Amino acid sequence: MGKRILLTGGAGFIGSAVVRHIMKNTKDDVCVVDKLTYAGNLESLSEVSNNERFTFKRADICIKEGIDVIFSEFQPHAVMHLAAESHVDRSIDGPGEFIQTNVVGTYTLLESARKYYSALEYDKKASFRFHHISTDEVYGDLEGPRDLFREDTPYSPSSPYSASKAASDHLVRAWQRTFKLPTIVTNCSNNYGPYHFPEKLIPLVILNALDGKPLPVYGNGCQIRDWLFVEDHARALYTAMTAGKIGETYNIGGNNEKKNIEVVHAICDLLNELRPRSDGRSYREQITFVQDRPGHDLRYAIDASKIKRDLNWIPRETFESGIRKTVLWYIEHKNGWCKRVQDGSYQRERLGLGIEVAQASGGL
C-alpha cells in the first residue's frame, strides 16, 4: 500500500517529472492540482494519464475553498508543493502574478494543509509531510569563484521571482515553527531536460537553432549556473519527501557549473553532430549577444553535501550525458510536443489526452 501524494503544479516541467518518477518507481497514488496556466501542459503527463493511481484536478491554489475540498476528498499522506510562477523575465515585466501565486498561493495552501492536518488522528499526523519545493535564486548570487550556497546562506533575492519564492520559504518555515505543521524545504539549482517550456535557455536555444533563428545570449554569456538534470531532481525530491527530517532544508544541485555561453556552445556542438545544418556551417554562427536583463545574478552554485550525507542522494547524470539526452529529446519531439507548445495548440487540446480536467468546487 503506497502513499497518497497531493502534488501542486504537476503539469509543469519539474512537477510532471516528479509525477512520472512516482508512477514508474513507487506504488503511491498521486493527485495533481494545477491551474493550467500557460506553463501547465497536460501532454507532459500523457504517459501516466491512464494509470489508476493518477488523478488530476484543475484548481487555483489561491482559492482555499477548492483546495479544502481536494484535501477532504483525496486525504493525502503528503503534499509536494511545486506550483509557482518561475520565469525571471516575466517577473520583471509583471511582478503581480508572482506575488499572487508564489506568496498568496503558498499561504492559502499552508492554511488548507493546517486545517486538514489538525483534524488527523495521531498516527496519521506522525506520517504527514508538507514538502515545499523552492529555488537557489532566493540566495541571490555568489561573489567568490569557490563560494557555494548552503542551507544556512542568508537570503538575498535579486528579482521579483526570487523575492516571491523567498517569501514563500519563510512562510513555510513559520508555519512549521508556529503551528507545528511538519514541513520540509528543498532549494534546487537550474533544472534542464525533457518537457522544459521553450522560454527557458536550453530549450529556447535548441529549438531556435533547429529553426535557423538567432540564439540570444544575455550580456557576455559569462553568468554561471549549476545545472541539474530534471530526472535527478525528481528523484531527490521524492527522497527528501519520504526520508527528510521535519523542519530541515536540503539544497539540491547537479555539481555542474557552466557559463551560459558554454551551455550554448555545448548545444550547438551536439546539434552539429546530431542534426547538421544543411549548409554545413556551425550552429555557433547563430549566436547573438543581447542586452543583459536587470538584476541578472552572476553565479549560482549549490553545496549539496547535506542531502548526500543525510539522505544518500547524488545526481546520476553529468552535464555531458544530461544535455545529450535533452538535445535528442527535443530533436525527436520537435514536430510533436514542441510544435504544439510553440503554436499554442496544446492549450486547446487539453481534453483529448485521457485526463479528467475536473474543476474543484470554488476553483476556477
- Residues classed as catalytic: 136-137, 161
Helix 105-118 and helix 160-179: axis angle, to 10°?
20
Residue 141 CB: number of other CB atoms within 10 A?
20
What is the phi/psi pair of residue 341, to 5°? -70, -45
The residue type of 124 is: K
- The cell for 171 is 512562510
According to DSSP, the residues that pair with 188 across neighbouring strands are 135, 252
